[in-house]
Structure 1
Amino acid sequence: MSTLNRAALVLFCLSFVPLSALSQQQTPPHSDQLPVTAAPPLTEARDPHLVLDVVVTDRSGKPRAGLTQNDFVVRDNNQVRKILSFRAVDGAAPAEPPVKIILMVDEVNTSFTRVAYERDQLKKFLLKNGGQLTHPVSLAFFSDTGTELQNGSSRDGNALLASFDQHVTKLRTIRRSTGFYGAEERFTLSLKGLNLLAATEAKEPGRKMVIWISPGWPILSGPNITLSTREEQGLFSSIVYLSTALRQARITLYSIDPLGVEDAATNRLTYYEEFLKPVSASKDAQAGNLALQVLARQSGGQALNSSNDITEQISRCVAEADAFYTLTVDPTPSDRPNQSHSVAVSVETPGVTARTRNLYYGQP
C-alpha cells in the first residue's frame, strides 16, 4: 500500500473506532472513548444470554412455520447449548413488539440516476395492498451530509409515501473518480451511518430488519494492500464493535443491490464472500470484513444482488418477518476479551435450512 493510501486508512481507524482500539489492550469500548456519532452498545452484564432470531426456509426459500423447540439444535463454537427460551412467531402468534422494518436508501454509494429508480421501486412497495403494510415500516436516507431517520414507523404506506415524497435526493459530492480517498471517505461514512442506526435502534425493544438498498461500500482490500499492526488493531476493534452493536440492537441486516444484473458480469457480486470467515485476531483483520454484504450475512440476513426488481426483493426480505423463531441460549464462556464465536443452528426436519446470526464476540 502506498504512503498516501496507508495514511487514509489510518485516518479511518482514528475517526471510527474507539481510541482504545489503537492500544494493545483489546477490551470493549467505554462511553467516553466512543466517536461522537456513536452510543455504546448495551453492556454484556445487562443480558448475559444470547438471543437468536432464526428464519427457517424450505427449498424454494419460503419461510417455514410450525416448528417446535425440539426441532432445533444450537451450537456455539461447536458446543451444543441448551435452549433456555423459545418463541415461534407466525400469523397465529405475532411478534410482540411487532418486527420493525427499516428501509435505508443509500445516496452515498449509489448514483443519482439509480437512486431515482430506487425511489420508484420503493413507492411500488409502499402502495402494495392499497398501502396497507403487514409490518411497521420506517424510512431512512443516507447521504454525504449524514443519516436522516424518519421519526416513528407506520403500517400506512400512503402516509409513508407522502413523507417519502418530501425528501429531496441529494446529489452525491463523493465521486467514484476521486480514487482511494473518495472510496475511503464513502467507506468511513457508511460505517458511521450503520453505527448510528444501530445505536439508535438499541434503545427500542424487539427485532428490527434493516433493508439497506445499496451496491455496498468500497471493500478496500486486495492482494496489494498490506496493513500495519496498528491498522489491523483498529480494524479488528471496529469489527468487534459493530458486530456487537448490531447484535445487541437485535438488527438483522439485508442488502439489496440496486444495480442488479448490471453487476452480474463483474466479480463484485461474490468478492465479499472471501471475507465471511470470522476474524479471531487483529492480524487477520481486513477492511473487507466490514463490507455491507458480509455484515448482512453474519447478522442472519441476506445479500440479494441478482435482480433489478427492487420491489420484489424488498417483499422477499419482509416475508421473513412473518414466520421466524426466537431462541435464547446460554453462550459458551469466553477465555479472552473479544473472542469470536461461531454460531450454528440446525433443524432436524428434512429439506429446510435455518439461518441466524452466525457470529458474535464474547467477553470473559
Structure 2
Amino acid sequence: MVRRRSMPCIFHSAFLLFILSSLLSAQAPPTARSTTSATPTFRANSRLVQFDVIVLDGNGRPIRGLAQNDFKIFEDGKPQQVRSFDAHETKLTAQPQEPFHLPPHQYTNVPVDEPRGPLTVILFDTLNTPTLDQSAARRHLIEFLNELPRGQQTALFTLGTRLRMVQSFTGQSDVLLAAAQRILSSQSPLLTTEKEHQRNEDDLIYRERMTTPTVTGPGSGAAPQAPQDSDLLAGTTARLRDALTTQEQYQITQRVGITLSSLVELAAMLQGYPGRKNLLWLSGTFPFSFGPNPFVRSEQHDRSNFDIAVHQATSLLSAAQVAVYPIDATGLHTHGVDLTNTGESMTGFDSSTQMPRMNAGFARQMQEESDAQTTMDEIAEQTGGKAFYGTNGLKTAMQRSVDQTSCYYTIAYEPQNQDWNGKFRRISLKTERPGATLQYRRGYYAFPEPEHTPQESTIKLAAAMRPDMPDSTALYFKAQVLPPDTDHHSVRITYLINPQQITFTDAAEGRKHAFLDLLAVAWDRNGKDVGHSADTIDATLTQAEYLKVLRTGLQASQEVTVKPSAYRVRVGAVDRLSQQVGTIDVLLSNAPPK
C-alpha cells in the first residue's frame, strides 16, 4: 500500500532552504508508487573503516602495481586485518562513452561516463583570503585550468559568505576557464588582514603615547596634565583595544561557522559521486584544523561551539572520500612593517613587557605563520591530502595535487575495537617498499552510526535543491518532466527511482516499507522560486509488490504550478533512512527567450 499527500505554499527564494525544510518535515506521511532494489539494504553490527592511500617514490611519482600484501594497517598501535583492497589508475586517454539517448522530456542523474580518475573540486576562498592575494591566486588558477588534461572531471566553487558553485563537473578546460574568469576579487567582511591589524595597533599605540602624562620641570612654563584626564583617555584607549579584540574574535567565529557549514555541504554533495575526490582549497587563512585538537592555534574563539562540528565535518569528508589539499593563496611570506602604515606598533618599547615592539611584532608574525602551516598540514593529514605553502607557485601546487592522485589504492578494514564512543583513533599504514612515502588520512572519529531524523533528510534534500549546486547522484532516478502547454498550466513530473539504492525495512505480515521525500522547485532566470511541490512516499508493500518494485523501480508523480517566468525546474528525492539524495536540473522547453 502506498500513500501520498502534498502541501503547496508560496515563499520568497531567500528563505527557500528554511521553508522547504519545514514544509517537508511538517507534513504528514503522503504517498506515491514504489519500486525497490534487487538487493535490499541491510545494516550489519560491525562496520568497516575505508580510506585511500597514495604511494609516492623518491621523486614524488605514484608507485603503481602494489597489492594488498604490500600494506600493514595499525589502529592505535594494534594490527588490523584488511577486508577489501582496490587499485585505481587514471585513464584520461580512454574514449568517453556515448551519451544516453532518452526519449523527449526524459532525464536522469545517472552519470553518462564513470569518472576515469579522481574528481577534482576547486574551492576558491574569498572569505578567508585578503583581496590582493585573491587576484594573484585567480591568475594561477586560470593558468592551471588552461593546461588541464581533457577529460579530467573538475568543478569550481567559491566560498564567500556562503558556498556557491561557479561550474559543475566537466572535463572541458575551456568551459572551466570561462567560469574562472567570471570570479571577481571581493573583500571579505569577516577578515582582519595583517595590514589592518598593524594599522589598528598603530592607532592604539599613538593614542597611548598621546595620553601619557608629560613630565615637566620647574620653570618650563608648561602646565602639568591633569592626572584624571590622562586616566580617562587611557581608559578609553583600553576599551577601544578590547572592542577591536572582541571584533576580531567575532569575525573568526563567524568565518569558522561559515567555512565548516560549507565543507559539510560540499561533503554531502560529493558523497553521491563514486571514488576519490580531491578538494583543492585555495585560501589565505585556515581558521581551524581537522586534528584531535582543532583549536590549539593562535586564533581564539568559543571552542566549545565548534569542536564537535569540526569532528563531524572530518567524518563526513572521510565518508565521501574527499581528500583536502590546502593551498596557501598568500604565497611566500615576508615579515615586517606594512609600508602603508605609520609603523607606531613596530617602534619603541612595550612598557608591559619591556621588549622592543619590533621584536614582538616579528615574533607574532612568525608564530602565526608557523601555526597556519601546522594547521594546513593537519587538515591534509586527517583527510589524506597534502598541504602546499611557502611558495608562489600555486599553479604547480594544483598540478601536483592532480598528478599525484593518478594512481591510488582503497583499503578497508574492520576495527577490532567496535566501541563507537566518538573518540579519535589513529591509523598507521606501513609498506616495505624502500623509499616510499604514504599519503593517507591519519585517523578518524569513532562516532556511532547516526539515527537520521525526517528533519535531517529534508534539510539535506532542500540544500541539494539550490540552483547553484550540481546534480546529486547518491540516489539514481529517471524523471519525465513535461512543461506547461496550452492544456496544462503546471509542470508534470513522473519519477522512476532505482530500487537498489532504497532502504527497505521489514513490516508486519512479511511486508516491506520504504520512506522517501520528493521535492520539485521551479526557478526563473534570476534564481527566484516561481513554484514548488513537496511530497512524501510512505510505501508498505506486499511481497508481490516488493518483487515488482525490485524489477521495475519505484514510481511516483508530482505536479508543480508555475508562473510564466519559469525557466528551469529541479527535481529531487531523498531516502529517509540512508539520507542518500538524488537531483536533476531540467531546462523547460517553453522557457522565455533571453
After TM superposition, is the score higher than 0.5? yes
Residues 216 and 292 in structure 1, CA contact (< 8 A), matched pair in contact too: no
Aligned residue for 1:262, secondary structure, equals coil
What is aligned with 2:255? 186
Matched, 1:138 2:155: yes
320, 327, 332: which one aligns with 2:416:
332
Output the CA distance in 1 between the equivalents of 2:405 and 2:299. Answer: 42
Choose the corresponding residue for 2:183, options 162, 167, 188.
167
**Correspondence 1:201 to 2:270:** yes
On the 8 A contact 1:107/1:141 being kept in 2, the answer is yes
Q: Distance between the aligned counterparts of 1:269 and 1:223, measured in 2?
A: 10
Q: In 1, are the aligned partners of 2:280 and 2:326 still within 8 Å (CA)?
A: yes
> Which amino acid in the other structure matches residue 170 of structure 1?
S
The structural deviation recorded for 1:242 is 1.2
User: Is the alpha carbon distance of 1:297 and 1:123 closer, same or farther for their aligned partners in structure 2, counting shifts above 3 Å?
Assistant: same
Pairwise CA distance, 1:142: 0.5
Question: In the aligned structure 1, how far is the partner of 2:429 from the partner of 2:146?
Answer: 36
Helix, strand or coil for the counterpart of 2:54? strand
1:263 CA displacement: 5.7
Which residue type is aligned with residue 236 of structure 1? Answer: D
CA shift, 1:357, in A, is: 1.1
Alignment-derived partner of residue 259 in structure 1: 330
Secondary structure (helix, strand or coil) at the match of 1:210 reads strand
Q: What whole-Å deviation, never above 9, does each CA across 1:258-308 have from its counterpart, x for those lacking one?
A: 12211687233432576xxxxxxxxxxxxxxxx554222211111110210
Taking the aligned partners of 1:206 and 1:58, their CA distance within structure 2 comes to: 23
Structure 1 unmatched runs, 5+: 1-31, 33-42, 275-290
Following superposition, the deviation at residue 65 of structure 1 comes to: 1.6
Amino acid at match of 1:267: Q
Alpha carbons of structure 1 residues 79 and 54: separation in structure 2 relative to 1, 3 Å = same
Write the distance in 2 (CA, Å) between the matches of 1:115 and 1:104. Answer: 12
Residue 249 of structure 1 deviates from its aligned partner by 0.9
Q: Are residues 198 and 117 of structure 1, via their aligned partners in 2, closer, same or farther at CA, if it must alter by over 3 Å? A: same
The verdict on how the C-alpha distance between 1:125 and 1:341 changes in structure 2, with shifts beyond 3 A counting, is same
Aligned equivalents of 1:252 and 1:315: distance in 2?
Answer: 15
- Corresponding residue number in structure 2 for 1:313: 397
Q: Higher mean Cα deviation, 311-320 or 234-243?
A: 234-243
Instruction: Report the residue type matching 2:445 in the other structure.
Output: Y
Q: Which residue of 1 aligns with 2:64?
A: 65
How far 1:52 moved relative to its partner?
1.3
Task: Indicate yes or no: 2:383 matched with 1:299.
Answer: yes
Give the deviation of 1:175 after TM superposition: 3.4
CA deviation after TM superposition for structure 1 residue 103, in Å: 0.7
Amino acid at match of 2:86: R
Q: Quick one: which amino acid aligns to residue 331 of structure 2? A: G
* CA 1:251–1:224: 2 relative to 1, 3 Å: closer
- Pairwise CA RMSD: 3.0
- Give me the TM-score of the superposition, normalised by structure 1: 0.74
- 2:370 is the counterpart of 1:270: yes
Q: Secondary structure at the match of 1:169?
A: coil
Bigger Rg, structure 1 or 2? 2
Q: Which runs of 5 or more structure 2 residues have no equivalent in the other structure?
A: 1-24, 26-41, 95-112, 197-246, 289-294, 336-364, 449-594
The alpha-carbon deviation at position 356 of structure 1 amounts to 0.7
**Percent of residue pairs bearing the same amino acid type:** 23
1:347 maps to a residue whose letter is T
Q: Matches of 1:156 and 1:223 in 2, distance apart?
A: 41
SS at match of 2:50: strand
Normalising by structure 2, we get a TM-score of: 0.46
Please point out which of 78, 83, 102 is paired with 2:121.
102
Q: Deviations over 1:93-140 (max 9, x none)?
A: 999643110011010111122111111111111111xx5345211101
What CA distance in whole angstroms lies between the structure 1 residues aligned with 2:406 and 2:80? 26
Given that 2:157 and 2:167 are in contact with CA atoms closer than 8 Å, whether structure 1 keeps it comes out as no
Q: Which one has the bigger helix percentage?
A: 1
Superposed displacement of residue 153, structure 1: 1.0
Between the aligned partners of 1:217 and 1:356, the Cα distance in structure 2 is 20
Relative contact order, higher structure (CA 8 A, sep 6+) = 1
Task: State the aligned residue count.
Answer: 300
* Pairwise CA distance, 1:161: 0.8
Contact preservation (8 Å) 2:124, 2:282: yes
Counterpart of 1:243 (choices 310, 314, 319) is: 314
Task: Indicate yes or no: 2:179 matched with 1:149.
Answer: no
Instruction: Report the CA distance shift for 1:215/1:175 in structure 2 as closer, same or farther (over 3 A).
Output: closer
* 1:114 aligned onto 2:185: no
